[in-house]
A and B are shown apart, each in its own frame.
Chain A
Amino acid sequence: MPERDSHARAWRGLGWGFIVKLLLMAVVNAFGVTVILAAVRTESWIILGVLVVLLIAADVIYFTKKALPLKYLLPGLIFLFVFQIFTLGYTGYVAFTNYGTGHAGSMQQAIDATVIQGERRVEGSTDYPLAIVEGFGGELGFAINDDGTVRVGTASSPLTDSPDATVGSSGAPTEVPGYTVVQRAVLLTDQELQQQVVGLRVPVSDDPNDGSVRTREGSTGVIYTSTIVWDESAQTMTDTETNTVYQPDDRGNFVAEDGTRLPTGWYVNVGFDNFVRAVTDADLAAPLLQVTLWTFAFAILTVLTSFGLGLLFAMIYNDERVRGRKILRTLFILPYAFPAFMSALLWRGMLNSEFGVVNDLFFFGADINWLGDPWLARGAILFVNLWLSYPYWFLVCTGALQALPSETLEAATIDGAGRWRKFRSIMLPLLLVSTAPLAIASFAFNFNNFTIIYMLTGGGPNFAGSASGLGSTDILISAIYQISGVAGGTADYGLASALSIIVFIVIGVISAIAFRQTRKLEEVQ
């Protein structure tokens, strides 16, 4: 029997799915290429490398028939690798460096910054007629008339000769190939541009010691050179005004023989220094020990109190004889439905010592400084967190109680077991099987419960006589926040990351225990 239809007739074009895929991949590629070009321009080689690999991988995976599972996994994996796995790994790297204020870049960046900071106007130097120019991508630069030769450059590319440029009657360049000259009228009316121009420095050459061109008013350029000179062959910095020679040391600083340091250093690997500092530094060790103890106490007590209260309420109201249980349950769990950060802020106001409603209504207008006294503040935090989290345990325990096998309980009653005995020997062990994993998860969550601490007390009241800036209610993560300086102040990313590593280790240990424990409890059952 001959085939009725050719196989090709069944082909109905590429289909919508393919077109959508093509469009999406076009967008992805356009974005990728744009970013790759930007990475080249800013010389961010690591980002460039990662992007090229990712883009090629995406094209290969989505345009070949191989690697079917990866078609589904790739988007999630990219985010997972860049924003989770990389950050975890990078934390590990930074923990072993002295990255932070004063050590924020590479050695070359530190040299450049120091030389720039030391730049002064050269006495008796000539003024060059100057024009403001805008280069590729809107980058500002200067074009100067150096005795008849026009030279042009930007902050990132040093001055080069521009032989085809034209010069106006004032001597300033009027047309520069590859750049657009910013008109003087524009400069005079644009405040923001003026600021940028005054702050702009265009290096004379690749050697930072040659200095830079700057301008005060946008029409004449002056050469600034630094009083601090970098000697590349000797690897030393010399302050030409005092003739002090600074040598690089292994801690990322330029140090003179008398021990003075230049303010800008670079970050270097310092080994276990950050970890050692956390336990030996006179300013840090004692507060950090207190913070660690309180972190454990806070997490354990929070779980115990809220679990206990939730279980108690669940046992009391898991009783069919009580009417209106549905309404009661809804009212009981209202605190859980109120966003946690708002609850913490709300209680911060309610516990205010002067105007707070707690003092006013329940303590007869007493002036109890709930959030200002170390122990009261700790108590307040536990109380507020109890208010926040008992509904969770109430719900969990209610569910678990209803799932208990009624035959076992009946059998125990028949055998003459009392209430306490039934609770102790049957209900609690069975409840723990289903709730222990949740309790451990809740412990891990509260171990890092930054929101409640920061919103309620901000970690305060501060430890008396300590320069660390830490306080009695700080837990590890809020202490890390304080030390890291990401919110302003002196930054110490190295020490902060070292503490993060310690938190990770604790969490890892807890999780490992959790796994074993759940298995053990299941065996009990």
Chain B
Amino acid sequence: MTSVRSHRTHTKRSRWWGEVGWKYPVAVVIVFFAVFPLLYVLSASLKPGGSLAGSSQLFRAIDPANYAALGGTQFWTWVLNTLFIGGVTAVGAVLMGAAAAYAFSRFRFAGRRASLTSLLIIQMFPQTVAFVAVFLLLLALGEVVPALGINSKIALICVYLGGALGANTFLMYGFFNSIPIEIDESAKIDGATHAQIFWRLIMPLVTPVLAVVGLLAFVSAFGDFILARIVLTSEDNWTLAVGMFQWVSNQLTSRWGLFAAGSVIASLPVLALFLTLQRYIVGGLTQGSVKG
């Protein structure tokens, strides 16, 4: 009797190992694969001295020197530049995208379908591939208005906003369509103008999609390198991507300690935001946005 039971638990256990149990050791390997580089950068940021040498022993020393040294560089200027460029781009993209989506969703006008189709086609061709033309355009604009020329943050924001309508209108258009038009109509009967309907009625109702679009615009401005590199030429105008690339691109003078400390600081807010918004991001992914 007992032997039968023990035999049964034995087969049960081996079945458990075969079907579920093995997934735990595998998970440990995957977690190591995923997390090791992040632990490494944290450890490197706490290691005194700026070179890579001797950084393989993780957490051998804990020294905030690299973090303190950031103050002696342009790092915080780059952080502010990135926040400024990303922030203005996000606000601009949200406002322009929402206005366009409102127009497409609520008004029926000649050329509406054609405009929607052309938007769909245009947004497939990324601006980054046309960077030569962007560069030449800004050279020409800069001769007339220096604020819109090469080495201007405003100019870079304008370039990013050029892609805003194509990238965001569809996401918002779908969301706007899901809001019943009866709401507009009843407001219209009460004497509301189209502007009042847009600002006071629709915008509060679509806040979730505004947040998503704003976040996407911010993240893509934060992560852009090629356009920022071309447009922003002087060091005090750089964004984080351009500045931190400069720190480590040169073999002879590369400053890994600064880079490690800087990336820990810059990625922490992103990580925190990402983890709190995980659920929404997962939802957004399946709607067709790719990490930029």
A interface residue numbers (CB < 8 A to B): 17, 35, 38-39, 42, 44, 47, 68-73, 75-77, 79-80, 82-88, 90-91, 94, 99, 313, 316-317, 319, 321-322, 328, 330-343, 345-350, 352, 354-357, 360-361, 387, 389, 391-392, 395-396, 398-400, 434, 437-438, 441-442, 444-445, 448, 450-451, 454-455, 458, 477, 480-481, 484, 486-487, 493, 496-497, 500, 503-504, 507-508, 511
B99 contacts across to A, CB distance below 8 A: 72-73, 75-76
Q: Assess whether B267 is in contact with A339, with CB atoms less than 8 Å apart.
A: yes
CA distance A322 to B274 in the complex (A): 24
Q: Assess whether A442 is in contact with B290, with CB atoms less than 8 Å apart.
A: yes
Q: Which of A17, A47, A68, A337 gathers the greatest number of chain B CB atoms within 10 Å?
A: A337
Contact of A454 with B225 at beta-carbon distance under 8 Å, contacts A86-B137, A87-B137 already known:
yes
Q: Assess whether B103 is in contact with A451, with CB atoms less than 8 Å apart.
A: no
Q: Assess whether A87 is in contact with B133, with CB atoms less than 8 Å apart.
A: yes
Which one, B1-9, B23-31, B67-75, B204-212, is touching chain A? Answer: B23-31
22 contacts between A and B (CB under 8 A): A47-B144, A70-B103, A72-B99, A73-B100, A77-B165, A80-B122, A82-B158, A90-B133, A328-B31, A333-B34, A339-B266, A355-B54, A357-B55, A360-B56, A392-B291, A441-B290, A444-B124, A445-B290, A448-B126, A477-B128, A477-B226, A511-B124
B223 contacts across to A, CB distance below 8 A: 339-341, 451
Give A390's nearest chain B residue, CB to CB. B34
Q: Assess whether A322 is in contact with B128, with CB atoms less than 8 Å apart.
A: no
Is B12 on the interface with A (CB-CB < 8 A)? no
A361 contacts across to B, CB distance below 8 A: 56
B104 contacts across to A, CB distance below 8 A: 69
Contact of A448 with B128 at beta-carbon distance under 8 Å, contacts A332-B30, A497-B133 already known:
yes
Is B114 on the interface with A (CB-CB < 8 A)? no
Q: Assess whether B271 is in contact with A337, with CB atoms less than 8 Å apart.
A: yes
A399 contacts across to B, CB distance below 8 A: 282, 285-286
Choose among B51, B165, B291, B292 the residue that contacts A79 (Cβ–Cβ < 8 A): B165
CA distance A44 to B163 in the complex (A): 25
Instruction: Beyond A75-B95, A481-B226, list 5 extra A-B contacts (CB 8 Å).
Output: A69-B107, A76-B169, A313-B30, A337-B274, A392-B291
Q: Assess whether B125 is in contact with A355, with CB atoms less than 8 Å apart.
A: no
Is B79 on the interface with A (CB-CB < 8 A)? no
Which 8 residue pairs of A and B lie closest in terms of their CB atoms, listed nearest first? A83-B162, A76-B96, A355-B52, A337-B274, A72-B103, A360-B56, A76-B165, A87-B133
CA distance A73 to B89 in the complex (A): 17
A75 contacts across to B, CB distance below 8 A: 95-96, 99
Q: Assess whether A355 is in contact with B290, with CB atoms less than 8 Å apart.
A: no
Q: Assess whether B136 is in contact with A90, with CB atoms less than 8 Å apart.
A: yes
Give A492's nearest chain B residue, CB to CB. B132
Is B62 on the interface with A (CB-CB < 8 A)? no
B134 contacts across to A, CB distance below 8 A: 83, 87
Q: Assess whether B143 is in contact with A332, with CB atoms less than 8 Å apart.
A: no
Q: Assess whether B132 is in contact with A487, with CB atoms less than 8 Å apart.
A: no
Is B102 on the interface with A (CB-CB < 8 A)? yes
CA distance A438 to B164 in the complex (A): 20
B56 contacts across to A, CB distance below 8 A: 357, 360-361
Choose among B19, B55, B248 the residue that contacts A321 (Cβ–Cβ < 8 A): B19
Is B59 on the interface with A (CB-CB < 8 A)? no
Q: Assess whether A451 is in contact with B225, with CB atoms less than 8 Å apart.
A: yes
Is B252 on the interface with A (CB-CB < 8 A)? no
B127 contacts across to A, CB distance below 8 A: 83-84, 87
Q: Assess whether A503 is in contact with B129, with CB atoms less than 8 Å apart.
A: yes
A333 contacts across to B, CB distance below 8 A: 34, 278
**Which B residues, 119 to 150, have Cβ-Cβ distances below 8 Å to chain A?**
121-122, 124-137, 140-141, 143-145
CA distance A159 to B102 in the complex (A): 57
CA distance A454 to B242 in the complex (A): 12
Q: Assess whether A83 is in contact with B31, with CB atoms less than 8 Å apart.
A: no
Chain A proximity of B20: nearest CB distance (Å):
5
Mask: chain B, 247-291; 1 = CB below 8 Å from A; 0 = not: 011000010100100010011001100110010011001101011
Q: Assess whether B131 is in contact with A338, with CB atoms less than 8 Å apart.
A: no
Q: Assess whether B136 is in contact with A84, with CB atoms less than 8 Å apart.
A: no
Chain A proximity of B275: nearest CB distance (Å):
6
Contact of A341 with B225 at beta-carbon distance under 8 Å, contacts A76-B97, A438-B290 already known:
yes
Q: Assess whether A84 is in contact with B166, with CB atoms less than 8 Å apart.
A: yes
A448 contacts across to B, CB distance below 8 A: 126, 128-129
**Which B residues, 23 to 75, have Cβ-Cβ distances below 8 Å to chain A?**
23-24, 26-27, 30-31, 33-35, 37-38, 40-41, 44, 51-56
CA distance A143 to B285 in the complex (A): 67
CA distance A77 to B53 in the complex (A): 52
CA distance A58 to B115 in the complex (A): 19
Give A340's nearest chain B residue, CB to CB. B223
Chain B proximity of A206: nearest CB distance (Å):
21
CA distance A345 to B291 in the complex (A): 17
CA distance A83 to B162 in the complex (A): 5
CA distance A84 to B292 in the complex (A): 18
Choose among A342, A477, A487, A504 the residue that contacts B229 (Cβ–Cβ < 8 A): A487
CA distance A355 to B54 in the complex (A): 7
Chain A proximity of B240: nearest CB distance (Å):
8
Q: Assess whether A339 is in contact with B270, with CB atoms less than 8 Å apart.
A: yes
Q: Which of B33, B131, B225, B270 gathers the greatest number of chain A CB atoms within 10 Å?
A: B131
A477 contacts across to B, CB distance below 8 A: 128-129, 226
Q: Assess whether A80 is in contact with B166, with CB atoms less than 8 Å apart.
A: yes
Q: Assess whether B35 is in contact with A331, with CB atoms less than 8 Å apart.
A: yes
CA distance A210 to B134 in the complex (A): 37
Q: Assess whether B132 is in contact with A493, with CB atoms less than 8 Å apart.
A: yes
Give A337's nearest chain B residue, CB to CB. B274
Is B230 on the interface with A (CB-CB < 8 A)? yes
A330 contacts across to B, CB distance below 8 A: 275, 278
CA distance A438 to B282 in the complex (A): 13
Choose among B126, B230, B256, B275 the residue that contacts A337 (Cβ–Cβ < 8 A): B275
Q: Assess whether B34 is in contact with A331, with CB atoms less than 8 Å apart.
A: yes
Is B196 on the interface with A (CB-CB < 8 A)? yes
Chain A proximity of B282: nearest CB distance (Å):
5
Give B124's nearest chain A residue, CB to CB. A511
CA distance A348 to B102 in the complex (A): 45
Contact of A321 with B20 at beta-carbon distance under 8 Å, contacts A339-B270, A349-B259, A437-B288 already known:
yes
Is B171 on the interface with A (CB-CB < 8 A)? no
Q: Assess whether A339 is in contact with B222, with CB atoms less than 8 Å apart.
A: yes
CA distance A407 to B41 in the complex (A): 47
A87 contacts across to B, CB distance below 8 A: 127, 130, 133-134, 137, 162
